[in-house]
Every structure is written in structure tokens, then in C-alpha cells.
Amino acid sequence: MTTNRINDIQIDDSGLAAPTPAIEQERKVAIFDLLEDNSFELAGRDGQAVPDGPYHLGLSIREKRLVVDAKTEDGAQAAEFHLSLGPFRQVVKDYFAICESYFDAVKKLPPSQIEAIDMARRGIHNEGARVLQERLEGKANVDIDTARRLFTLICVLHWG
């Protein structure tokens, strides 16, 4: 078993509106998929040794910032990052707009049009994952699939 992974994730959504059933389902699927397969490696900083994983990750929003809290399996603090939500705002907004279009399309459009909207949705989701990878640069390394799943969770937190 690799140590460069997340083996537990907690989402602090206290203070946020209750999620819709669709958002709650997205959250459950993202967490399940993330825990099944992920790559998360803390970056060494200032010559300090990186605590061994696997990691317990906490995600929350505090003072309009995304807080990523990584702890070791025994609960010791491994790292905490505070990321501005600014770089995520437009892509999160675009992602929710295209998801809404997709859910509407499924009800009334032919498969070819649904497929086109879904391709656009995946493209925006990938863009959000790339933004997350950039924001984590020098703090943690994540592969694109892990970044996609974490981006989904950021959307859930961001949207409330």
C-alpha cells in the first residue's frame, strides 16, 4: 500500500445551506471514487521532512478561503493550506451552469446533443482540476483523477 494517498476525507460544511439531493449524490460519488483510487503527496518545504501518509484530509471554507488540512494516520498535523477561492470562482460557476444544462438535456434532448453537453461538462471539470493542481503547486502533488474528484468536493463546498 502506498503512503502517497488519502485514506480518509472529511468535508466541513457547517454553516452552509443543506445540499440538494443531486449535489449530495455528487459528493458521495466523489468521496467514494477518491478513497478508492488517489494520489496525494505532500511537497517538502524549506528542507523539512514530509510526514508519512496515508493522510486524513479535511476540506472546509474559512474566511472565503479553501482550507486543506492534512493529518497523518495517527492524527498528527502534516500540513494545512489556505487557498484563495478567487481562481476557482468562474470555473465553479461554469461547471454548475453546464451541469444544470446537462440535467435538463437528459430529460428532453436526443442522445447526440446530450453527449455534446457532457463533453463540455467534462472539459470544464478538467479545467477545474488543472486550476486545483496549479494552486497546490509546491504544497502537494495530485494526479489529474485525484484533482478532478477534489474539484467536485470544492464545488460542493463552494456552492453550499
For residue 159, the model assigns a pLDDT of 61
Whole-model pTM: value is: 0.90
Residue 49 burial class via C-beta count within 10 angstroms: exposed 0-12, middle 13-18, buried 19 and up: exposed
Strands 40-42 and 6-12: unpaired
pLDDT digits (tens, 9 = 90+) for 53-95: 899 999 998 888 999 999 999 999 999 999 999 999 999 999 9
Main-chain dihedrals φ then ψ at residue 97, nearest 5 degrees = -65, -45
